[in-house]
Structure 1
Amino acid sequence: MAKIPNELIDRIRDSVNIVDVISQDVQLRAQGKNLMGHCPFHRDDTPSFAVNEQKQFFYCFSCHRSGNVFGFLQQLHHLSFPEAVEKVAQMANISLPRQYEPGANEANSQTSQVGQLINLHQTAAKLYHHILVSTPAGGAALHYLQKRGMSRQLIDEFNLGFAPDGDEEVLLEYCQQQKLDYQLLRKSGLFVTDRAGNLHDRFHGRVMYPLDGSNGQVIGFSGRILASKGNDHEPKYLNSPETELFNKRQSLFNLHRAKKAARTAGKIILFEGFMDVISAFGAGVANGVASMGTSLTDEQVQIIQRFCNEVVVCYDGDDAGQNAIDRAIKLIAQDAPKLTIRVVQLPAGLDPDEYVQQKGAQSFQQYLEGHVETPVEFQLHYLRRGLNLHQQDELIGYLNAVLRIIAGVSSAVEQNVYLKELADEFGLTVASLQDQVKQIGQTLPKRPAQKAPTNFNAPVDDSPEPAADPHVVSKVEGAERRLLAYYLDDEEVRQHLDQLNGFQFAHDAYQKVYNAVRDYLAQNQKPSIAAILDQLPDDQSRSILSEVSNLKVDHDSTDEVVNDCIAVVMDEAPLKQQIQAKQAALNEAAMVNDEAATTKIAQELVQLYQKQQNMKTEEIG
């Protein structure tokens, strides 16, 4: 693959709005000069992920990830730079010349290995689907799915398939015919190895549900066994193992479709099983997801809150489903306290799949809209299961339990609604229940107020910025950041700094960013943060550029601020240069075994280090 020309890279990057691209994976809201959302790269309870639409870059105030539209796709979807460029080109309907497409010369890269694994999973999904819908071997599985109400359209939409039973290794044989690498097959999770190291298909006699990543590419499978003799010892569902692609704690079935619908609906509906999601989709409910055969995880909760402000838990109506709802709402409330939780309880004995089959799509949609409960309403019903409320001790225990839950509700109006319901049902006075709730509330632990740390280089804006990691910087580093901010903003500052004899930033990282900006401006009239980010060699440099680009520049005092910053930096630079010179001299003395010179230079170097430390202590103080 030939190197993509910078002119073509610039054209492709400038053809899309980074907000439109990131919004496919992160829900963004306007806040000051930025759009804010929950960072997709770390656990982010308070939105700290900023997208600067004007300058076309993103930056997380907590984990300090940054980049332009290419960098976002690279980091989130594990793409190489050429692959990210190709993906953006596709979004912009720009044809990438064949010689610039990601090619075989990246075959040994880690990113390309991930790409090969994805291609292998895509191939396996197509093979399993073909077997299901076009061969006699898939007849029984196809009949099973049709009996459960799956139309051919739904089967094709979700690319459902079948892995044949018996000794035939259909996937392995196909891969061997394509001469695919043994190690690639072994890493994929699609095969198991025997003691001799031979590969065998992992899935046999199972309806295959492809598991897609957030970008719609197949990353794993879940296989449901067909009822037949001799397989009672087999698990009902068999998932792909953990691989470079697939982590079941961090995956949600149907997320790539649901996230699009969630942007319109403002919510995601959480179902228990794959068939529930597929049936709901067929009934016109496209914003449904399901966990991968396990209980909901905190990682999945974090993913959900990136895409919406509300989650509706719709599990089965049996006891197991009720218990799962209780666990889910507690986990969501703990891990994503700002996410609105609602519950839909289906009639006992029915799951969403069965409800759609029995009552139809329209009835299912109406039920979802008309039977929404708050978590407290759910608990009012859930906690009374198995109790005889005509028994005074059980009634008192129940009331104490629900009043403790109501005491945790922040809205006084909402509290009074629940208390009135209890008072009417059990012949009590609202006032007595209010007194009890007040007493309980005094015993509940108070949530500490979140306080944003004071930061020398924090972005200045009229609106509150997200709480960030306390990133303490010295006076010198703060001056370097401020100086770069003015350098990016003001043509006169650029001319002044570039013509300043002997000027050098005290820290190599800032000098590296300055050099990149200066080199870019040698070919362009104005700085483009999005373009310069592509020229920087490492994450630290990109983070620094993103940070300083968010700093506010005071045009009324430019000369004063810039001169002060230059003075601070130049005072530090000579000391740094002295230390470097002494270190070189110490190495030379050690090489010739001059013990006297080594001792003398080492003492001088210690004194310089002490002077440098004293300066930093004074700056921080």
Structure 2
Amino acid sequence: MASRIPEAFIAEVRQKVNIVDVIGQYTDLVKRGRQWTGSCPFHDDRHPSLFVEENKQVFNCFSCGRSGSVFSFVMEKEGLSYPEAILALAEQADMTVDSGISAGVNHQVDGTTQSIYQLHTAAQRLYQHILLNTTSGEQALAYLHDKRQLTDDIIKQFGIGFVPEDNALLSYAKDQNISPEIMTASELFITNAQGDLRDRFSGRIVWPIKTERGQVVGFSGRALNQDNKIKYMNSPESPFFTKGKILYNFDLAKNHIRQTNTVMIFEGFMDVISADMAGKSVGVATMGTALTREHVQQLARVAQRILLVYDGDEAGQNAARRSINLIREHAKNMDIGVVHLPDNLDPDEVRIQRGLKVLQQVLEQNIQTPVEFLVNAARSGKNLSNQVQYLSFLQEVMDTLKLATPVEQDIQLTRIANEFGTEKQALQAQLKQSIKQKPHQNRDRNTQDEYVMEPPVYHDNFEAEAPINVTINQTITQVEQAERALLMAMIKSPQVMLRVKETTGFAFLHSDYQLLMMLTNIYQAQNPGPFNLAQYMDFVQKPELNQKIMAMERTYGDLAIEKEAINDYLRIIMQDAPIETQIHKLQQLITIAKQQHDDTKLLQLMTELINIKKKQSQ
């Protein structure tokens, strides 16, 4: 296992993190017997095929085959390495991570990426130094002090800097002998018409963009010169910077979010900073793009409530609508609120024009439910004194109220009736009719007859029987079944492992099982304690092998290890396997003989096949 993290630390993370809680952040899980089931988040799973075994802390999808421990789930879902997944879950469990462990993990990043990270960190420090301590940054600093009303402490807290037009970073990179390949890959430079590199953000105030762990991976720059046609510029997307996966300020805000169980989502970086100045340190912002599923899932791990603080203009309202639907789809248990901003101002404008106290009151008191927001938003762009547009407004309202609680339905219908003079009973009747007309697209996903592949059958005194899958079972020969049963016994019992190793001439017919035997031998030497399935799968760290391990464990994991059974497995593998190999080869030759219409050869091969099968049955 290629990790610098101590085994004791990994074991502590595994003990403190429950796989059901982690996977439950990505998909709804339902308890059935001693297992949990749900739709697999790795593919379009209309027929729930994901099974999570809480007592063994492993998962398996019978559709796509993905399986493993909580670490392997996070690795694949978040695109992390094994050490990074461990640290991410440790952080989620509020564990203290020793600096030496973090350094060991960071050291494992490939050399190119690590160099790019270092260059970004150096760039942020250089840009801030220029802003606060040099004559080159005086004009930018005056702008931030006077126009944006930011103090030096706030500037330092959020890492704001300034990029002069003298290619300061380019000079630094050359002085440090940073290769042209690293400089180009970093996306911190652009090529001019003459083919020369120059600083990408020249003449701009820059806000650093960081990962959840605080690593600078990009910048957002605002032109200081008002005549610049490109007012804002962001780092382009790259292998280390994906806008749809990064939230501005999440690194600084996440601990406050955990403490309050609340996160505020803003549209702009300065809105986040203004909210922080107003005492709300739970703000994040998207990178000039719409909220994504990855953003929602990231926030769902640390918060139970999301407050959308979007601009009051049409674009902001549309963004809020989309975000509400996205959160409802990917974080069903998340409480949602929408902050109403006065006079179509954004939060930063509220702070500057009306003061921090007003902004604080707005963020605390002007909170609407999604239903209230959507009903009000339905008015946008409509002349409600016009009957056609009023009826269109009502239809949009009814679509919203379908998902509302009875109390919210009553509040909104009463409000509309009082405002427009429509009888409340008529509104109630229209809502009832609208609900009846709702298409049955969200059929219960746990309904038995929807399954293409039948789920495990549960009984009161068993966890689960093996899933019914005739197609798969037909491909597993008697020899392979014996291999799987023997290997499972070897994995769980070092004594069986020793006995098999001492059996002269033994080898698994299938190379995957031979490889697992070798890996298991190493695992048992390193982990002499009781067998732990999740730990073993983490040690193997090969998805195709872990899939086989889960299949073996489900069928043979609970079988008692008996001496007679081990003897039978060895006999089948060592005696029957060669015969099966001969049979398979003869069957291939018979197929060829048929295709060539060689009757003489066909008769000879058929005779050999019959004789071998007779010998096998004796």
Global fold match (TM > 0.5):
yes
Question: What's the counterpart of residue 284 of structure 2?
Answer: 289
1:427 to 2:421 alignment: yes
1:513 to 2:516 alignment: yes
Task: Return the offset for 1:585.
Answer: 11
How far, CA to CA, are the matches of 1:46 and 1:341 in structure 2? Answer: 28
Contact 1:485 1:551 in 2 (8 A): no
1:439 to 2:433 alignment: yes
**One-letter amino acid of the counterpart of residue 444, structure 1:** K
Task: Return the offset for 1:197.
Answer: 4.2
Task: Return the offset for 1:390.
Answer: 3.4
Question: What's the counterpart of residue 161 of structure 2?
Answer: 161
How far, CA to CA, are the matches of 1:209 and 1:489 in structure 2? Answer: 54
How far, CA to CA, are the matches of 1:71 and 1:455 in structure 2? Answer: 23
Mark the CA change 1:339 to 1:501 in structure 2 (over 3 Å): closer, same or farther.
farther
Task: Return the offset for 1:265.
Answer: 2.9
TM alignment of 1:342-381, pairs within 5 A: 342-358=337-353, 360-361=355-356, 363-381=358-376
Question: What's the counterpart of residue 384 of structure 1?
Answer: 379
Mark the CA change 1:551 to 1:225 in structure 2 (over 3 Å): closer, same or farther.
farther
Alignment match of 1:193 (pick from 178, 181, 191):
191
TM-score (norm 2): 0.75
Task: Return the offset for 1:271.
Answer: 0.7
**One-letter amino acid of the counterpart of residue 140, structure 1:** Q
How far, CA to CA, are the matches of 1:178 and 1:582 in structure 2? Answer: 68
Question: What's the counterpart of residue 590 of structure 1?
Answer: none
Task: Return the offset for 1:182.
Answer: 0.8
Task: Return the offset for 1:70.
Answer: 9.0
Mark the CA change 1:444 to 1:455 in structure 2 (over 3 Å): closer, same or farther.
closer
Q: Greater CA deviation, 520-529 or 281-290?
A: 520-529
Contact 1:190 1:202 in 2 (8 A): yes
Question: What's the counterpart of residue 589 of structure 1?
Answer: none
How far, CA to CA, are the matches of 1:573 and 1:75 in structure 2? Answer: 39
Question: What's the counterpart of residue 140 of structure 2?
Answer: 141
Task: Return the offset for 1:543.
Answer: 4.5
Task: Return the offset for 1:395.
Answer: 2.6
Mark the CA change 1:291 to 1:88 in structure 2 (over 3 Å): closer, same or farther.
closer
1:173 to 2:175 alignment: no
**One-letter amino acid of the counterpart of residue 221, structure 1:** F
**One-letter amino acid of the counterpart of residue 64, structure 1:** R
Alignment match of 2:246 (pick from 246, 251, 264):
251
Alignment match of 1:538 (pick from 542, 551, 571):
542
Q: What SS class does the counterpart of residue 423 from structure 1 fall into?
A: helix
Q: What SS class does the counterpart of residue 224 from structure 1 fall into?
A: strand
Q: Greater CA deviation, 435-444 or 212-221?
A: 435-444
Number of aligned positions between the proteins: 579
Contact 1:80 1:112 in 2 (8 A): no
Task: Return the offset for 1:119.
Answer: 1.5
Contact 1:79 1:111 in 2 (8 A): no
1:409 to 2:411 alignment: no
**One-letter amino acid of the counterpart of residue 98, structure 2:** N
How far, CA to CA, are the matches of 1:291 and 1:464 in structure 2? Answer: 43
1:527 to 2:531 alignment: yes
How far, CA to CA, are the matches of 1:60 and 1:531 in structure 2? Answer: 19
Task: Return the offset for 1:280.
Answer: 1.3
1:321 to 2:316 alignment: yes
Q: What SS class does the counterpart of residue 419 from structure 1 fall into?
A: helix
Question: What's the counterpart of residue 616 of structure 2?
Answer: none
Q: Greater CA deviation, 55-64 or 509-518?
A: 55-64
How far, CA to CA, are the matches of 2:459 and 2:351 in structure 1? Answer: 51
Mark the CA change 1:368 to 1:520 in structure 2 (over 3 Å): closer, same or farther.
same
Task: Return the offset for 1:222.
Answer: 0.8
TM-score (norm 1): 0.74
Question: What's the counterpart of residue 212 of structure 1?
Answer: 210
Task: Return the offset for 1:369.
Answer: 3.4
Contact 1:26 1:38 in 2 (8 A): no
How far, CA to CA, are the matches of 2:438 and 2:494 in structure 1? Answer: 58
**One-letter amino acid of the counterpart of residue 93, structure 1:** D
Task: Return the offset for 1:329.
Answer: 2.6
Q: What SS class does the counterpart of residue 473 from structure 1 fall into?
A: helix
Task: Return the offset for 1:64.
Answer: 1.8
Q: What SS class does the counterpart of residue 268 from structure 1 fall into?
A: strand
1:241 to 2:236 alignment: yes
Contact 1:18 1:68 in 2 (8 A): no
Question: What's the counterpart of residue 616 of structure 1?
Answer: none
Q: Which runs of 5+ in 1 are unaligned?
A: 587-594, 612-621
Identity %: 32
Alignment match of 2:395 (pick from 392, 400, 408):
400
**One-letter amino acid of the counterpart of residue 365, structure 2:** G
Q: What SS class does the counterpart of residue 162 from structure 1 fall into?
A: strand
How far, CA to CA, are the matches of 1:460 and 1:508 in structure 2? Answer: 34
1:528-562 residue CA offsets vs partner (Å, 9 max, x unmatched):
4465446436332244446766889546x776997
**One-letter amino acid of the counterpart of residue 196, structure 2:** N
How far, CA to CA, are the matches of 2:419 and 2:282 in structure 1? Answer: 36
How far, CA to CA, are the matches of 1:340 and 1:522 in structure 2? Answer: 49
1:224 to 2:229 alignment: no
Question: What's the counterpart of residue 271 of structure 1?
Answer: 266
Task: Return the offset for 1:276.
Answer: 0.6
Q: CA RMSD in A?
A: 5.2
How far, CA to CA, are the matches of 2:157 and 2:54 in structure 1? Answer: 35
Alignment match of 1:341 (pick from 336, 339, 342):
336
**One-letter amino acid of the counterpart of residue 123, structure 1:** A
**One-letter amino acid of the counterpart of residue 117, structure 1:** I
